[in-house]
Structure 1
Amino acid sequence: MPDPDVDHIIAVHDPARPIERAVGSVLDHTAGSVRVTVICHNTDGGAVRERLRSRAADSRLRFIDLDDGIPSPAGPFNAGLDAASARFTSIMGSDDELEPGAIDSWLRVANAARADVVIPRVRHAGGAYVATPPTRPWRTRRLDGVRDRLSYRSAPLGLVSTSRFGGLRLPPGLASGEDVRYVTALWFSGAEVAFDRSGPAYLVHSDAAARASTAHRPMSTDTAFLAGLFASTEFSSLSERQRSALVVKLLRVNVVSWVVNRPHVEAWNGEDRSVIAESVRRCLAIAPGAERPLSRADRALLDAIVDERTEIGEVIRLGRERSRFLRPASLLPRRIANALGREAPLRFGAASALVRGIRR
């Protein structure tokens, strides 16, 4: 087929995944020119093709087999990007789907805004919208990495221009955080970034037995992406404000999730405690002051992590406490002078609520 407007890349790691749901949500509900590339990664490609046998004659569907033996999402997505020739690329997990007309809506936004990147809404299937990115109220065009808090959208979902970013790839080999460096290059590039703030959503499903993005891993695996990120040209080119915006997201989201996802002492192995402490110290050192707008509850958790004399049980307790969002410790930073800052809980929470609360 001629080069389409969108090369939509779906990585599948297990034939048992509902790949026909993902593919159908694109091919059955997109009027525009789209090609779906299914990357069969370290799995039985024949079994995947069998699940999609009814679509064998559809020229908009193609398959690529990748057996690299590496349990990382970066490999298959990079293979799809290598094979792309469309005006835009788009990626999707095999467990997920798009609401009808999503890609058509993204293309309309891209054309109207002359955008290099279009960010879609994300919603949990059957549930709430994901409150990222917590942009300036009702902002849809000319989004800015700092002012619109784009780092909180760490998955490069939606549309990405091939002419502007066709050479960009995810760092290979990482099992977690592989997309952070990629989106950092997008959000702080000065490119035209638009938000399809009221269009059909990307739907995240949780009905698979074990999603690759949520599986339990050693702390060293979860934190491995930081070294490459901080040593990258993408990071070194950031201004001080941009570094701070990225690092405060890492502290507020990534670090907290590393604790919250290990709610029992037995879930921490012998190295996890020292690995997370060193990771937080690295974040604080590379962007001094980035932690200042965080809530008192978040700061207490970070202090406990860095002080390795603090028992794991206390770290876990502080992780639970910071999730009680309506108490003063969760709403205010340590210094009242920081209370109305862009990344402070009050403004950040209000912006998040506006994104989550939009309905069609």
Structure 2
Amino acid sequence: MEFRDLKAQYGKYRQGIDTAIQEVINNANFIGGKEVKELEGQLADYVGVKYCISCANGTEAMTLVMMAWDIKEGDAVFVPDFTFFSTGEIVSFRGATPVFVDVDRETFTIDTIKLEKAIIRTIKEGKLTPKVIIPVDLFGLPANFYEIVKIAKKYNLLVLEDAAQGFGGNINGKRACSFGDAATTSFFPAKPLGCYGDGGAIFTDDDNLATLLKSLKIHGKGEDKYDNVRIGVNSRLDTIQAAVLKVKLKAFIHNELEDVNKVYQLYTERLLRIVETPFIPDGFYSSFAQYTIKLKNKEQRDGLQAKLKEHGIPSMIYYVKPMHKQGAFSYLNYDEDFEVTNELCDTVLSLPMHPYLSEEDVESVCEVIKDYLV
């Protein structure tokens, strides 16, 4: 059994993927080929924004936005404590300070009440200037953007949606990657929409920001690549990855998103009252980058993971260590108790989850869990 079955996906769409890759090879336009522009247009249309700017990976996407917004030393950027390292890393990379915020126990996304308290505390301390909130759409579920945007407007902050795991999710029909002042996603192979290497994208409705990002991602170019008007980086999505993503995007829209939610229903029906299953608030829709359950304590979680492994069933722990305990952030000297995040790091377990998981596979996973816990 695969945790995220890319082999099954390729088997189903082999002809389209192979044809798309071969066309790029035949044309020998490996950088900046027509497929990149076509993909950007299709992604922007799907999300419902004016601009999609592709780039090398999801981390670079966030870094480029930080560069465009001139985030620097002395600035505070608010980041959930329960997420992957890169969301905080890109803040420190710019010389700014990540301010970690505990998350909601049910949704795993940033706690909006604690977020506002962190903003107020930072303002009162007077050492840093609050600039940006980076909510993370964790495990496929969008963060509570209606509350987050209200808070951002109240304190004159920018919002960058980190939708690396959230592509395809929505709130009342408004799709992930369309919230805030800008949004980013990742096309890492195991993401809801993944390529066959690294890739990422930025989404925005801001004309000036889009123009600046297009310059920054190609060495700060002006009229052409030999006219460099600012210091930038080299962060491009190559043509072969764009060609693969064009095929995969069709599959994602036509069946994969719906199918992965069917798997969610199968799991939840069988595991209800056995473990804590994922919570999806009213009006929210998840793209289920992960199906993450909660156990009673670390011992039970680790024991279940070992039992699943005995039966050849892969599982993952996202995340073993919270952001505030990462060695790279030790200089921040946090004395705050991140109660929810600390609990989640000891109790969460992600089960195999993808659109090609059969009902029999789900049943097998759930039987092992029931045998172990009941």
TM range (shorter): under 0.3
- The TM-score, its normalising length taken from structure 2, stands at 0.23
Q: Which has the higher contact order (CA 8 A, sep 6+)?
A: 2
- Normalising to structure 1: TM-score of the pair? 0.24
